[in-house]
Structure 1
């Protein structure tokens, strides 16, 4: 609705990010349109500015959890940390049913995963970008997996405890931290809250603690 309000012609296609991306590329080629890539070096430079703001405000963070969609968020954090010469550990977060980046991180090469439904549609990627993977493997600490129940619980925490409306992908880092709370106890840890695009039809069951 917001995009249409700005005059965009919005085409909805596919069940996840990769299907939408492939269709966008096809339509872009057919129309001769200027295509904005989902991951490239210039995008990472732009995204890294939020990492600079975070690390300048809290340079002594032990760990930061960040969601992985196509990888620009994690790569931006890595770039900012390295630019400032810090030692903060950057931990990526993926959904357990969409583990492509986790599998690729472990294998040292691009590994795809099958499509799967998730409340964290901003993380519904099945095909890692090779450049993003290379940067994440070079500078990331590890990649953890979270489940739907943990993400929904984190969304509720944000809404009821901090009055922030977090989308699934935005809440996934908090879900990961809560899953690892004992491991991180006593350490200064950051979580990236990266979006608030929530389908309003999900809110009532979410607040009612329904997980189906």
Structure 2
């Protein structure tokens, strides 16, 4: 099993490539949670993700013959970029298989770092199968995204940095996909300071580790469904799961809505871009998914910032909906002059901003002398939305909240 000496050796190997990223105290999220929150900003890492650490450590353990043959890997994006840059820095040829659904920004970035990219399969597991075929056919070394002790050790260097920068830390909160990141961090943290708690967080739609811990053995999901593409993995690794079971104190899950809300908070209040997978530790903290003491010193690991811009639009809008700052509603008006103006007067008095309005007389589900209206509204929070709905219903409108 992975040990502290492995992580210490990795720290020396990756020191000239991986940045020692900031551990930033945040007054905003400390105030919101009641804890003392220090964010480990791996979104500021080279390639925008922690993955460069594990990839560099693995490639620097290759023999001369393995370097000459080249490497191959499968990844949804961040590990791909890490392998591409690490291989280029070491003069090693790299092929990367990415799912066909991988964000285009990550595909382009991986190619820009020097790797040949092949798109195959609907998710990470299908891409991995193709990569293993290339491994056998071309004699390349497969660099696993998480289920490799050298990769795990490289990721564990984050744990060493947290302990060096924040000796008083009490809880470290870490995203979990396949488990490489949390295995490495937990190994480093527990070896140095056994009393520090390590909490793992998964997306509800990709909760293989949480399910496995409940059932007492490693489980493989039939499919995964989450906006946090960086942790959309069907199963923990054969090497990572025993480490998680032994050294991680608790694993919790968060919904996509809670992830989106955290992304918006980080953009708006934290002034930093974090992808869905990187936002899950903060989501778990702000949503109270695990118990902690007032003023407890907590370090959420924001593991990456490579958010596809097309997805970002959707995530931000979902986050605004969950905060009560954007609503879509439907109601029915009498089809007479001034009816729409009466409704708009209520919206104006309630200081609601209209993004869009659709007025439809043709819907067969309403009376002949009526018109259906759908409204997209900017609102100021859940209390504002509740007050607006009360005001409309008091005025005689039947309101259906669409989002």
Structure 2 unaligned residues grouped into runs of 5+? 1-107, 323-402
| Partners of 2:191 and 2:303 in 1: CA distance | 22
| Partners of 1:66 and 1:182 in 2: CA distance | 13
1:108 aligns with 2:216: yes
Distance 1:179 1:130, change over 3 A: same
Of 14-23 and 163-172, the range deviating more from structure 2: 14-23
Question: What do the CA deviations read for 1:34-67 (whole angstroms, capped 9, x no partner)?
Answer: 2112221111221111110001211222221101
Matched with 2:129 is 22
Aligned residue among 12, 26, 33 for 2:140: 33
> Alpha-carbon deviation of 1:182?
8.3
Higher Cα radius of gyration: 2
> Alpha-carbon deviation of 1:118?
1.4
Matched with 2:281 is 173
* 3-state SS of 2:218 partner: coil
Q: Is the 8 A contact 1:98 1:114 kept in 2?
A: no
Question: Could you tell me the TM-score, scaled by structure 1's length?
Answer: 0.92
> Alpha-carbon deviation of 1:16?
2.1
Distance 1:49 1:34, change over 3 A: same
Matched with 2:41 is none
Q: Is the 8 A contact 2:253 2:289 kept in 1?
A: no
| Partners of 1:76 and 1:101 in 2: CA distance | 16
User: How many residues are paired up?
Assistant: 212
> Alpha-carbon deviation of 1:108?
2.0
> Alpha-carbon deviation of 1:99?
1.4
| Partners of 2:315 and 2:267 in 1: CA distance | 10
Matched with 2:48 is none
> Alpha-carbon deviation of 1:7?
2.8
Matched with 2:262 is 154
1:204 aligns with 2:313: yes
> Alpha-carbon deviation of 1:184?
2.5
Q: Is the 8 A contact 1:18 1:127 kept in 2?
A: no
| Partners of 2:251 and 2:290 in 1: CA distance | 17
Matched with 1:74 is 182
Query: Deviation above 6 Å: which 4+ runs of structure 1?
Result: none
Q: Is the 8 A contact 1:121 1:169 kept in 2?
A: yes
Q: Is the 8 A contact 1:60 1:88 kept in 2?
A: no
Q: Higher helix share goes to which structure? A: 1
* 3-state SS of 2:143 partner: coil
> Alpha-carbon deviation of 1:188?
1.4
* 3-state SS of 1:90 partner: strand
Aligned residue among 210, 220, 228 for 1:120: 228
Matched with 2:167 is 59
Question: What do the CA deviations read for 1:167-200 (whole angstroms, capped 9, x no partner)?
Answer: 1100011111111178335121110101111111
| Partners of 1:126 and 1:9 in 2: CA distance | 25
Question: Could you tell me the TM-score, scaled by structure 2's length?
Answer: 0.50
Matched with 1:129 is 237
